[in-house]
Amino acid sequence: MKRSSSRFASPRRVLLAGASLSLLIPAAALAQSETGEAERPEDRDVIIVTSSVLRTTTDEVTGAVEVVDQRHIEDNLAGSLADTIAHEPGVSTTYFGPAASRPVIRGLGADRVMVLVNGTGLIDASTASPDHAVQSEALEAEQIEILRGPAAIAYGGGAIGGVVNVIDGRIPHAPVDGLVDGRIYLGATSVDEGRTAAARARIGAGPFVFTAEVMNRTAEDYDIPGYAESELYRLLEEEEHHDDSRPAVALEEDDHEDEAIGTAENTWLDTQSASVGVSLVQDWGFVGIAYRSSESEYGVPGHAHHDEEDHHDDLLPSFAAAEAEEETVYIDMVQNRWDVRGEVDLPGGVPLDSVRFSLGMADYKHTEIEGGAVGTLFTNEGWEGRVEGRFEPVTLGAGTWEGAVGVQAFRRDFAALGDEAFVPASVTEDQGIFTVQRWDAGDWGLEGGLRLEQRDLSSVAGDRDFSTVSASGSVFFRPVRDQFFAVTLSRSERAPTDVELFADGPHPATSSYEVGDASLDVETALSLEFTARTPVFGGDLEAAVFRAEFDGFIGLFPTGAEIDELPVFEFRAVDATFTGFEARFERELGQLHGWDLSGELMAEYVRGEIDGGGNLPLIPPLSISGGLTASTDRHELHASLEWADVQNETAAFELKTQSHVLANARWTWQPFTERDVRFILEGRNLTDEEIRVHTSVLKDRLPLPGRNFRAAIVYSF
C-alpha cells in the first residue's frame, strides 16, 4: 500500500530537523528573553517531582519529565492508566484491549519501563505478558510522574527506559483543610456502554488523617468502525486460504462470514478496588499505613487456541495469529496490598536533612478461564522497600551542593501453573544502593549519580545471579532567566528477567512458542540526551533529543521453527540503537470575545534499529498533534488533532501500520462559584476512523474504539 502523503519527506529527515531545531532555538530564545518579550510569569506554579531523589522541580530536572495532575487525568481519562497518558510526548501503549495496557516510553516497554505506586513496584504480572493488566487505575492517582529516558540510577535496571510513578494519596502527607475533603467522579461512555464511579474522602482527627477510597469500572464489548482485522491482514488470509475451485464471490463470503465487524469481541471488563489508610501528620513529617484490595474480570481479545488441523504458512506475521479455533477466554484477577510510607525531617546537627521510606507488600493472583474451565493460574507474592536520605544543602565553592543516598530491595515469588504456563516458577531477589549528587552555581551546574545492584534469580530451570552498575552525569545551563538546558550521558545496566531466561512454552498472548536463554548476560545502554526548556516565539518549549546504544539488547526473535503449530520465538541478545526526539510547545494566544485562547503543539519520533541491519518490532511511528483551548471562568473548550504516520520500518515478522488522524473535542463546565463541581462532555475519535496502535501485538486484530462520547461529573469537597 502507498505511504500516506505528507509534507514530511521521511521520519529520518524529521528527526534531523527536530535535532537542528532544538539546537537553534536557544539563540532565538536568548534574543527574545533579553528584550523581556518571552518571559514566563513569575507566579507560575512550582511543581516538585516526587520521583526525583533530590525533590527537584519540573523546570530543573536534567532529564525529560512530565507531571500530570488530577484534573488533567479526569479531563483525559481513557480507561486504563497507560491509555490515559498515551497522548503525552514520548509515551504510547501496548493496548491489549481496554483492561490490559502498559506504558511504552520511547519504544521501550515491559521490564524496561517501571510502573510504580508512590515509588515502589506494583508486584503484579504485567511485565510477564501484554494481556496481564497493570494493578493501578488512573482515577486512583492524584498525580502521575513520567520520567522519559533512563531512570535506572534511582530505580534500578527495570527503569532503563523510563518510569511512570503514580502518586495515589492513600497515605496522606499533609493535614486536611478543615474536617473533611474528597472527590467523587461519575462517568459514562457510549462506545462500550461503560460506567465508571470513584470516590475518595479524607477525614482529619487531630494529628491523624484517615482516608477511604472506592472505584468501579465496567464496560461491554466496544464498537469499532469496521472489521476487527486490518485490511492487509485480511488480504494475506485470503491469499493463504485461496481455493481456485470456488468463485471469487463465494471466497469472499466464506473468508469473512465469521469475522468480527462493528464490535471488538471479548473486550468487556468489570474491575473494582477499595482502600483505607491512616497517617500521623506532624511538623516533623508524616508516617502512615494503607490497605488496598482490587478485583478484576476482563475478556482477553484475540486469545487463540490452535487445533491439530490448523495449517499455516509464512504469509502471516507471528504476532498477528493466523486462523485458529477460538474459545472465550477471560481473566479473573485479585490483589491485596499493604503499604507503609513516611517522611521525617531530621533535627540540626546531623548530616541528613530528611529521610523518606516506603514499603509495599502484595499478594497477587489471576486465573485465566478458558471455555468455562480454569486454564492457567499466575501468582506473585512479594514485597519491595526503599529508604532515601537527603543531605542538608551546603555552600561549596561558587555554588551549592546537595545530595542524597538510598537503598532499595525487593523479593518476588512468581509462579504459573496450567496448560499455558510458559515460564517456570521463580524467586527474584534484588538489592540496590544508590546516590545522586548535584552542584549548582546558578548559571550552570553538574549532576551525577551511581547505583550498584545485585539480582539473584532461582528457578527449577536453573539459578542465576547478576551484578549491575549504572552511572550518569549531566551538565546543565541557565543562560538567562527561565531557560534551562542540560546534556546527560548515562550508562545503565539491566539484568535479565525470569521470562527472558527460563521461558519454554506456548504463549497465546503473542501467538508464539517462547524459548528463553539461561545464558543471557546483562543488558547495557549508553545514552546521550539533550534537554531544553525555554521561552521562544512568545510561548514555552520543552524538547529532548536522545540516542541510546544497547549492548546485548534482549529481544524476542523468530527462529523459523514451529512447535504445536505455533512459530517459535527465542530470547536472544543483539546490539541495537534507539534515536529520536519529543517536543511540546505551548503558547497563550490572547482573547476573543471574553475567551482566553491558548494553543499546544507536540511531536515525537523514535527509530529502533538492530546494528548490522534490521528493525526492532513494536516501535511507534512519527506522530504530531495540536490542540486549541478556549476558556472563561466557568467554561473550557478544547479541540485536538493527532496525526500518526504510517509505520513501515518494521521487523521481518510484522505488518506495517497505516497512518491515522484522531480528532477529539471536550467541553468542561463549572456552573457554581461556591462549589467545586465540573461537568465534562467529551467526544473521542469523532471521525470514527480505524486506528491501530503499532506498539500492540494485537494491532492487526484489534483496533482502538470507534467514535465515543463521554459524560462525567466531578465533585470536589
Strand 512-515 relative to strand 566-592: parallel, antiparallel, unpaired? parallel
Q: Specify burial of residue 477 (Cβ count, 10 A radius: 0-12, 13-18, 19+).
A: middle
Nearest Cα neighbor of 137 from 69, 82, 192, 200 is: 82
CATH code (residue 53): 2.40.170.20
- Assess if residue 334 is contained within a domain: yes
Which residues of the chain are modeled with pLDDT < 70?
1-45, 241-258, 303-327
Instruction: Please compute Rg for the chain using Cα positions.
Output: 25
Q: Which domain holds residue 115?
A: 11-716
Grid coordinates representing 511? 501467538
Strand 373-391 relative to strand 504-507: parallel, antiparallel, unpaired? unpaired
Cα distance from N-terminal residue to C-terminal residue, the chain = 54
Run of H or E including 232: helix 231-240
State the CB neighbour count (10 A cutoff) for residue 585: 18
- Give how far Cα 243 sits from Cα of 246, 252, 359, Å: 6, 11, 62
The full length of the chain comes to 717
Q: How many Cα atoms occupy the beta-carbon half-sphere of 36 within 13 Å?
A: 1
How far apart (Å, rounded) are the C-alpha atoms in residues 240 and 317? 12
How far apart (Å, rounded) are the C-alpha atoms in residues 322 and 587? 48
- Assess if residue 457 is contained within a domain: yes
Nearest Cα neighbor of 60 from 537, 438, 538 is: 438
Beta bridge mates, 370? 329, 373
Alpha helices in 365-455 (DSSP H): none
- Assess if residue 208 is contained within a domain: yes
Strand 285-299 relative to strand 269-282: parallel, antiparallel, unpaired? antiparallel
- Assess if residue 1 is contained within a domain: no
The type of residue at 292 is R
Nearest Cα neighbor of 583 from 38, 66, 39 is: 66
Nearest Cα neighbor of 240 from 229, 251, 228, 226 is: 251
- Assess if residue 2 is contained within a domain: no
pLDDT, residue 187, reads 98
Nearest Cα neighbor of 703 from 131, 317, 218, 301 is: 301
pLDDT, residue 322, reads 39
* Alpha-carbon 344 to chain mean position: 30
- Assess if residue 4 is contained within a domain: no
pLDDT, residue 349, reads 80
Run of H or E including 67: strand 64-69
Task: Give residues with Cβ within 8 angstroms of 416, minimum separation 6.
Answer: 128, 376, 377, 378, 379, 422, 423, 424, 425
Q: What DSSP designation does 657 have? A: B
Grid coordinates representing 604? 515525537
Task: Give residues with Cβ within 8 angstroms of 103, minimum separation 6.
Answer: 81, 82, 85, 86, 91, 92, 93, 94, 109, 113, 115, 146, 162, 164
- Greatest CA separation for the chain: 91
pLDDT, residue 196, reads 98
Q: How many domains does the chain have?
A: 1
Nearest Cα neighbor of 455 from 422, 426, 476 is: 426
How far apart (Å, rounded) are the C-alpha atoms in residues 108 and 182? 36
Tell me which residue has cell 477529539.
664
Would you say 384 and 410 are in contact if contact means Cβ atoms under 8 Å apart?
yes
* Alpha-carbon 281 to chain mean position: 32
- Give how far Cα 405 sits from Cα of 284, 401, 470, 494, Å: 20, 14, 14, 20
Task: Give residues with Cβ within 8 angstroms of 114, minimum separation 6.
Answer: 121, 151, 155, 156, 158, 159, 162, 163, 164
- Give how far Cα 557 sits from Cα of 549, 615, 699, Å: 19, 11, 18
How far apart (Å, rounded) are the C-alpha atoms in residues 649 and 225? 26
The type of residue at 119 is G
Q: At what angle do helices 231-240 and 248-256 cross, to 10 degrees?
A: 120
How far apart (Å, rounded) are the C-alpha atoms in residues 173 and 438? 26
DSSP labels, 387-409:
EEEEEPPEEETTEEEEEEEEEEE
pLDDT, residue 28, reads 37
Phi and psi torsions of 649, nearest 5°: -90, 75
Grid coordinates representing 605? 519520533
DSSP labels, 493-556:
EEPPPHHHHH-EEEEGGGTEEEE--TT---EEEEEEEEEEEEEETTEEEEEEEEEEEEEEEEEE
| Burial track 611-633 (b if 16+ CB lie within 10 A, e otherwise) | eeeebbbbbbbbbbbebebbeee
Q: What DSSP designation does 214 have? A: E
pLDDT, residue 255, reads 47
* Alpha-carbon 173 to chain mean position: 25
Q: How many Cα atoms occupy the beta-carbon half-sphere of 261 within 13 Å?
A: 7
How far apart (Å, rounded) are the C-alpha atoms in residues 215 and 201? 12
Phi and psi torsions of 215, nearest 5°: -150, 140
State the CB neighbour count (10 A cutoff) for residue 673: 8
pLDDT, residue 252, reads 43
- Assess if residue 3 is contained within a domain: no
- Assess if residue 167 is contained within a domain: yes
pLDDT, residue 4, reads 37
